[in-house]
Structure 1
Amino acid sequence: MACDCIEKANSLLAPLNTKLSERLVAVRREGESSGFRTVIELGVEKIATRGKRPTQMLATFCPFCGVRYVPETTGADA
């Protein structure tokens, strides 16, 4: 991770028996190095009880400090 906000938040939430939901995701997008990374999963819920499952939302930037989890690469970096 680019920052330690998740660890800080989890240490503050621990006395409340709570922690942030993290997810390991595979990266296969063009311009990003492939492999796995850990991201924060943002909570979503269904609007209607019947129908499609809700989509998942995964943060690209830290929701606390705004630092990008994986730095953008330019053509020269790739």
Structure 2
Amino acid sequence: MESIKIRTYIGDDGILKIQLPPEIANQELDVVIVFQPVIKESLQSSTKTPQEHLLKNNAAINFRNSVVRRYHAGLM
């Protein structure tokens, strides 16, 4: 399984457009989409310690991994 992380904007039409690398062409794929809204950071967030930023990033990674595990276990 491979993953690609992107940041994109979804317009009023709600359509997400993804262009994959050419080596993916002509294949059947299982695709899992996990999304998280981007929260604009305020001036207060700049006072966070490196440990607080690390905890936030680890929480996002743990959430993504749990979704992938549930998908592979057939729970989704």
Normalising by the residue count of structure 1, what TM-score does the alignment of the two structures yield? 0.24
The structure number with the bigger radius of gyration is 2
Q: Which has the higher helix share?
A: 2
Higher relative contact order (CA 8 A, sep 6+): 2
Normalising by the residue count of structure 2, what TM-score does the alignment of the two structures yield? 0.24
